[in-house]
Amino acid sequence: MLLIPYLSAIFLSGTRSAWVLLAVGLLLYLWYLGRLGYLKRVKAVVWGALAIGVVSLVLFASTDEAVRERLQKSAGLFSTDIESIDNATAQRVSIWQVAMLMVEDHWLTGVGPRGFRYVFMDYAPEDNYWKNLRRPLAPNQPHLVGLEVLVETGVVGIVGFLAFFWVLITYAAKRTSGFRSDAVPWLIAALVALFPLNTYLALYASYWSSLSWWLLLVALAMMSGGDGDERDNAD
């Protein structure tokens, strides 16, 4: 029953990136339960949670104007018209196009962490949405974590970012003995926070980075201390 207020808060926020990260987190956690062999045991709970999620979404879409507008706007993602896609992503495409122009000029080391906002107007074309607001506004970041790393730290940064995921997952697979470890839920939370397709907060934003690294710190600390089975045997 605790899922009801939890899902309600996420749906009512109207933040589609939160919906996406919720889906990513649930998929990773279901995969984790499957690896543990628990999925069959909790099948009823899983189906119940999915049912609650679907019912909550339908309920809020039919009663809450903001949620309904978000869902209708999101339908533009399946359009072949770039303007419709831009509207569906809350003008994110207009930001990504400018970001790619920066990458062309600064492909090796980028424009520098948190430098995106300062050079946005220099690269934005005259017909760019953000440049034509009544008060022109330069977005603080590209609103896509993977692209943010590429723009602000270049090829050097994105290679390091991807290598980080590879090393982390490889290390976790070795340290958690078939993923039977209390560290994995913490690791899942950290991976969701650092998800390359996250369109919400900047990777280099202070509290978001702090949250991500603290989650990762706990996961690594638990992995370095041995997995759950080893602790049980020791006891």
The predicted-structure confidence for 68-121, as pLDDT tens digits, reads as follows: 676 666 666 666 777 877 787 888 999 999 999 999 999 999 999 999 999 999
pLDDT band at 66 (very low <50, low <70, confident <90, very high): low
Same domain assignment for residues 80 and 150: no
Same domain assignment for residues 80 and 40: yes
Q: Give residue-wise pLDDT tens across range 158-189.
A: 999 999 999 988 888 777 665 556 788 888 88
pLDDT at 232: 47
What Å distances lie between residue 91 and 25, 66, 70, 95, CA to CA? 25, 18, 13, 7
pLDDT at 122: 96
Q: Is residue 235 pLDDT above 80, yes or no?
A: no
Residue 180 belongs to a domain: yes
Residue 175 belongs to a domain: yes
Measured CA to CA, the distance from residue 5 to residue 2 in angstroms comes to 6
Q: Is residue 228 pLDDT above 60, yes or no?
A: no
pLDDT at 225: 67
Q: How many domains does the chain have?
A: 2
Same domain assignment for residues 150 and 200: yes
Measured CA to CA, the distance from residue 232 to residue 235 in angstroms comes to 5
Same domain assignment for residues 112 and 181: yes
Mean pLDDT across 5-9: 71
Q: Position of tokens 């990136």? A: 17
Computed from CA positions of residues 161, 217, 3, 176, in that sequence, does the dihedral angle turn out positive or negative? positive
Same domain assignment for residues 85 and 96: no
Same domain assignment for residues 27 and 131: no
Query: 33, 42 in Cβ contact below 8 A?
Result: yes
Same domain assignment for residues 104 and 173: yes
Residue 235 belongs to a domain: no
Residue 66 belongs to a domain: yes
pLDDT band at 3 (very low <50, low <70, confident <90, very high): low
pLDDT band at 30 (very low <50, low <70, confident <90, very high): confident
Same domain assignment for residues 191 and 113: yes
CA 193 to chain centre: 6
Boundary-marking domain end, from 90, 105, 120: 90
Same domain assignment for residues 123 and 140: yes
pLDDT at 103: 97
8-state DSSP, 40: T
Q: Is residue 230 pLDDT above 60, yes or no?
A: no
Q: Give residue-wise pLDDT tens across range 120-153.
A: 999 999 999 999 998 888 999 999 999 999 999 9
Same domain assignment for residues 115 and 176: yes
Q: Could you list the residue range(s) of the whole structural domain that residue 201 is in?
A: 91-228
Same domain assignment for residues 106 and 178: yes
